[in-house]
Structure 1
């Protein structure tokens, strides 16, 4: 990539980040996020529509099918900003669905999804902590994020050794919904094939690629959250006094803060490297290794960083009224989404046989 192309790419990512300020301004309060917790559907449908109008849902969809046709780095930059603001709208799972529908040639509810007029979730997961898609016709599909607000479900089914894709209206099979630690919800769907419409005969490769990207973009969201939690913690250390001194001058706390900063920096490096690899066309083991390295680090670091931030705040950090705790709760929900740290470490080792245990 030439210097001019590199500069153009950096400008594109900067513009995407800036556009996120309309939804999640850096340093803004979290009143909207608090108000949506423990409510159905757990997000603002009007704001989700606005995300569609801004082109975010179709960021990775080709322009010929109504998307923006941008890269993984742009998507990660956007997710990082949304993570900093704890935005609850299901952009990542809906972007995954948009990529699947694009692989079907734009069939089904793709136009409505790209416009933000329909929340389309892909019901692919049958058990905890996996990226495998068995496609069993009668198995419940689990861990559907923000399922209480879904309009349509996409259902991958194994047929003749291939993974077909079906579309199923939510009103024909209401999912069972349970609350999550951050105030959102997860759904369990029992497939109802009688009301399903077949969209494609084989989406196996497209779904595997989309799941990889969803894992990486989730890592970027976690990065934004841990970075914002750390910034809040630094502000607290610079203003809180104890024994007549600013607590940020205590050497023990400075050392702990330095460790947190290192975790954030290492996570960013892993995500940037993985996004660059995917945008450069990495495939097979190289693609899986890059994604898994980033997701494993982000999943582990997000929990470590947010817990450390709570402790550095002292007693006030444990209260629900203080914003630092919201970032820990979000990390607890998302750390295992699209694969836990342990799963991705195993996948990285399998994809990188030259790395010793």
Structure 2
């Protein structure tokens, strides 16, 4: 009986993931409208608020939020599938950072002041971003009260910020409106913007979010690994298509054995990355303990970051000289990878964390 129930559960999850991928195709089709991506590059806020609102209406921002708080209550396997599609589409909308904020606003212990921002965020009507990072190469919130918060994705489109501040040995959460905030923006490689925010007061909406923020950052790191998987998967698909159609010496260049070997190596990297991401998502959905969760997330993020850099760089080389021009779409995938690879921890950080957290049978 238990085996039947387990099989039904697996089939139900597979169907849920399939439906999520299909719904993603309606808003951000895999390898779809790259003209839209080019039109938004380096133009504030760097994304389309109308598309973000559609994502909210589809329930994507609240995919991980419990149903009792207005979300969909789905698992990391579903969220990673969605993030992969967003990566393949090069979608600039800050879905993962928005989902991180939704997790904090819906966390147990959040005050009534969090309800309004949560509802507006889940519906995509307002963008609330979490300003947690104080320096490069980290995945923990120090919570220094007067320290600038850096690398806030797409901060120019936010209406408010969540600022974790350490008080009395705990991380409280403050809601700081965008209006009047000391915020500066800097362009990123992929045409988006990072923000630097200097905290200035704000309403305390949660007294202790340390545990919730740690979990939310891990989930954001894993979702970013899935996003990188989508980016490299689509870059690889475009490259294979180019190898099949580009003619040299009267035959497709994909028939040359040397290029076939390079393509095979890239496919292996893709397969290993997918296995790591899916295994980590399943582990989190199964309620893994803290050490196992951190090890699995770090293994997936380190592998996806390194593999995506390799795949997208090789994809440009396999396109030949045209691949190095800005007009070639394949370059958009490398630019996106260069940004995502360092979001929520670079591969070096995650390799160190995996070494520290992994059990001997995993190392």
TM range (shorter): over 0.9
Which residue is 1:189 aligned to? 197
* CA displacement at 1:108 relative to structure 2: 4.7
Which residue is 1:211 aligned to? 217
Q: Does 1:139 align with 2:183?
A: no
Q: Does 98-107 or 53-62 show the bigger shift?
A: 98-107
* CA displacement at 1:278 relative to structure 2: 0.2
Distance (Å, rounded) in 2 between the aligned partners of 1:42 and 1:27:
19
Which residue is 1:162 aligned to? 170
Q: 1:68 aligns with which of 65, 72, 88?
A: 72
- Deviation track 1:237-296 (CA, whole Å, cap 9, x = no partner) reads 001011222100100000000000000000000000000000000121100000000000
How many pairs are equivalent? 355
Q: Output the aligned Cα RMSD.
A: 1.2
CA contact (8 A) 2:302 2:346 kept: yes
- Deviation track 1:89-142 (CA, whole Å, cap 9, x = no partner) reads 000000000000000265350000000011100000001010121101100000
CA contact (8 A) 2:143 2:171 kept: yes
* CA displacement at 1:25 relative to structure 2: 1.6
Q: 1:151 aligns with which of 159, 169, 182?
A: 159
Q: 2:208 aligns with which of 182, 202, 212?
A: 202
CA contact (8 A) 1:219 1:299 kept: yes
* CA displacement at 1:24 relative to structure 2: 1.7
Q: Does 1:87 align with 2:95?
A: no
Which residue is 1:78 aligned to? 82
Which residue is 2:8 aligned to? 4
Q: Does 1:250 align with 2:256?
A: yes
Which residue is 2:351 aligned to? 345
Q: Does 1:238 align with 2:244?
A: yes
Which residue is 2:226 aligned to? 220
Report the 3-state secondary structure (helix = DSSP H, G, I; strand = E; otherwise coil) of the residue aligned with 1:43.
coil
Q: How does 1:240-279 map to 2 (within 5 A)?
A: 240-279=246-285
Report the 3-state secondary structure (helix = DSSP H, G, I; strand = E; otherwise coil) of the residue aligned with 1:317.
helix
* CA displacement at 1:26 relative to structure 2: 2.7
* CA displacement at 1:172 relative to structure 2: 2.4
Distance (Å, rounded) in 2 between the aligned partners of 1:31 and 1:300:
27
CA contact (8 A) 1:123 1:142 kept: yes
TM-score, normalising length from structure 2? 0.96
CA contact (8 A) 1:349 1:355 kept: no
TM-score, normalising length from structure 1? 0.98
In structure 1, list runs of 5 or more residues that go unmatched. none
Distance (Å, rounded) in 1 between the aligned partners of 2:83 and 2:30:
13
Which residue is 1:126 aligned to? 134
Distance (Å, rounded) in 2 between the aligned partners of 1:131 and 1:153:
18
Report the 3-state secondary structure (helix = DSSP H, G, I; strand = E; otherwise coil) of the residue aligned with 2:165.
strand
CA contact (8 A) 2:187 2:194 kept: yes
Which residue is 2:20 aligned to? 16
CA contact (8 A) 2:309 2:338 kept: yes
Which residue is 2:30 aligned to? 26
Distance (Å, rounded) in 2 between the aligned partners of 1:270 and 1:8:
22
Report the 3-state secondary structure (helix = DSSP H, G, I; strand = E; otherwise coil) of the residue aligned with 2:222.
helix
CA contact (8 A) 2:182 2:199 kept: no
Which residue is 2:314 aligned to? 308
Report the 3-state secondary structure (helix = DSSP H, G, I; strand = E; otherwise coil) of the residue aligned with 2:319.
helix
Q: Does 1:318 align with 2:334?
A: no
